[in-house]
C-alpha cells in the first residue's frame, strides 16, 4: 500500500524536480562505477605482479615486500606524537560554526594545517634493501591517532614542540582536532612502484636540508605563503598547492647549493622506488601486507559496487514511475 502511495506522489510531483534527482543518481552511479573499476584494476595489478627481492630486482615497475627501516643519517620524528617513525602525515582541524542557507546553525571541521613527510626511508627484506620515496605515492599507514582539545581525551602531549608552538599561537577556547598517521619503524611494508638505480651516487643531503628549511620559513609566514601559492584564492593551501611549494623550495635549494645537482659518491649503488614516469600505473606504499591490502581493496570494491547498484536501480525506478506511459 505504501509503495502505491509513493508512486502516486511521484507521478504528481514536479517533473523538473524528479528529473534533477534522476540526474544526480545517475551521476552518482557513474562515479561509483568508475571508483569500482579503479579499485578492481589496482587489486588485479597487486595480485598479478610478481613480488621481487630487493637484491634481484630489475629496474622498472615492480612489487616488493619487507620491513620499514628508518635512515640512520636522517631520522624522522612525527610532529604531533613525538614518536620516531619512517613516514608521517598529519592535519589539524578547527570546529567552526556557521549558518546554512536556511539560517540554521551548523558546525563543521575545517582543516587549518596539514603536512606530510617527504623523507625517503628503507624497505628491507632478507636479501637487502631499497630506498622508498613517499612523494606522489598512495600511502596506507598502519597507525592513526586522533586527539581533540577541550575534551576528555588525554592523548594530547603538550610537551611536544608542535603542541607548545600551536597553542602559543592559537586560542585554547576553540576546539581543535589533531590527526596523525604513521608508518613506524619495523612495520611490514608493501610497495608497488617504479625502481631506478642511482648508480654509485646519492643526492647531496644539503639540498634536502635547505629545501626543508625554506618550507619551515615559508610556513611561519602564512599570509606570504598563501599569497604566493594559493592558486585558487580560497584562503588556504591545498595539497596540490603544497606540492607546488615543495617543488619551488627544492628548485630554490638546488639553485642556492654549490654544485646544484652534483652528487656525492657512495660505496654501493642505491635502488630508489618512486612514482612511475608514465601515467596510468599506480604507486602504492602500504604498511599493510599484500594480503591485508587486497582485503581492504575488496571491501572497497564491494561498497562501491553496492552503491552503484542502489543508485542505478533507484534512478531507473524513478524514471519508469515518473516518465513511463
Taking only the tens of pLDDT, the chain with its 325 residues reads 555 666 666 666 666 777 787 889 899 999 999 999 989 998 998 888 889 998 877 888 999 999 999 988 888 999 998 999 999 999 999 888 777 777 777 888 999 889 999 889 999 999 999 999 998 899 999 999 998 876 544 455 556 888 878 877 777 678 889 999 999 999 999 999 999 887 544 444 555 666 777 777 877 777 887 888 887 777 777 666 777 777 777 767 666 655 444 334 333 557 889 888 876 789 999 999 999 999 988 999 999 999 999 998 888 877 777 666 4
Residues 165 and 89 in one domain: yes
* Grid cell locating 31: 562515479
Domain for residue 171, yes or no? yes
The answer to whether the CB of 237 falls within 8 A of the CB of 226 is: yes
Residues 213 and 254 in one domain: yes
Residues 150 and 100 in one domain: yes
> Using CA atoms, how far apart are residues 287 and 82, in angstroms rounded to an integer?
19
Residues 87 and 177 in one domain: yes
- What contacts 61, CB < 8 A, 6 or more positions away? 49, 192, 193, 194, 195, 276, 281
The answer to whether the CB of 83 falls within 8 A of the CB of 64 is: no
Domain for residue 90, yes or no? yes
Last residue of a domain, one of 262, 296, 312: 262
> Using CA atoms, how far apart are residues 245 and 172, in angstroms rounded to an integer?
30
The answer to whether the CB of 73 falls within 8 A of the CB of 205 is: yes
Domain for residue 5, yes or no? no
Domain for residue 46, yes or no? no
Domain for residue 310, yes or no? no
Q: Annotate 79-119 with three-state secondary structure.
A: CCCCCEECEEEEEEEEEEEEECCCCCEEEEEEEEEEEECCC
Residues 258 and 167 in one domain: no
Residues 167 and 235 in one domain: no
Domain for residue 215, yes or no? yes
Number of domains the chain contains: 2
Domain enclosing residue 237, as ranges: 204-262
Q: pTM above 0.75?
A: no
Residues 111 and 175 in one domain: yes
- What contacts 202, CB < 8 A, 6 or more positions away? 263, 264, 266, 270
Amino acid at each position: 500500500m505504501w509503495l502505491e502511495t509513493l508512486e502516486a506522489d511521484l507521478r504528481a510531483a514536479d517533473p523538473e524536480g524528479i528529473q534533477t534527482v534522476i540526474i544526480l543518481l545517475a551521476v552518482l552511479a557513474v562515479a561509483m562505477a568508475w571508483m569500482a573499476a579503479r579499485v578492481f584494476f589496482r587489486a588485479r595489478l597487486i595480485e598479478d605482479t610478481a613480488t621481487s627481492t630487493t637484491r634481484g630486482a630489475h629496474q622498472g615497475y615492480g612489487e616488493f615486500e619487507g620491513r620499514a627501516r628508518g635512515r640512520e643519517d636522517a631520522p624522522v620524528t612525527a610532529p604531533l606524537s613525538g614518536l620516531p617513525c619512517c613516514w608521517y602525515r598529519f592535519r589539524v582541524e578547527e570546529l567552526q560554526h556557521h549558518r546554512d542557507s536556511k539560517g540554521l546553525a551548523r558546525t563543521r571541521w575545517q582543516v587549518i594545517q596539514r603536512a606530510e613527510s617527504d623523507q625517503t626511508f628503507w624497505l628491507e627484506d632478507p636479501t637487502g634493501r631499497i630506498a622508498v620515496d613517499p612523494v606522489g605515492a598512495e600511502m596506507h599507514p598502519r597507525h592513526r591517532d586522533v586527539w581533540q582539545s577541550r575534551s576528555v581525551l588525554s592523548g594530547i602531549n603538550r610537551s611536544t614542540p608542535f603542541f607548545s608552538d600551536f597553542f602559543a599561537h592559537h586560542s585554547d577556547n576553540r576546539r581543535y582536532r589533531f590527526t596523525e598517521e604513521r608508518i613506524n619503524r619495523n612495520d611490514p611494508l608493501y610497495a608497488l612502484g617504479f625502481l631506478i638505480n642511482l648508480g654509485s651516487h646519492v643526492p647531496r643531503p644539503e639540498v634536502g636540508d635547505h629545501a626543508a628549511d625554506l618550507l619551515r620559513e615559508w610556513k611561519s609566514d602564512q599570509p606570504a605563503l598563501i599569497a604566493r601559492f594559493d592558486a585558487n584564492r580560497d584562503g588556504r593551501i591545498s595539497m596540490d598547492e603544497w606540492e607546488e611549494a615543495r617543488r619551488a623550495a627544492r628548485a630554490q635549494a638546488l639553485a642556492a647549493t654549490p654544485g646544484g645537482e652534483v652528487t656525492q659518491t657512495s660505496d654501493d649503488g642505491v635502488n630508489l622506488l618512486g612514482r612511475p614516469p608514465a601515467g596510468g600505473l599506480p604507486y602504492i606504499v602500504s604498511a599493510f601486507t599484500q594480503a591485508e591490502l587486497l582485503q581492504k581493496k575488496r571491501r572497497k570494491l564491494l561498497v562501491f559496487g553496492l552503491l552503484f547498484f542502489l543508485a542505478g536501480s533507484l534512478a531507473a525506478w524513478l524514471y519508469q514511475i515518473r516518465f513511463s506511459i
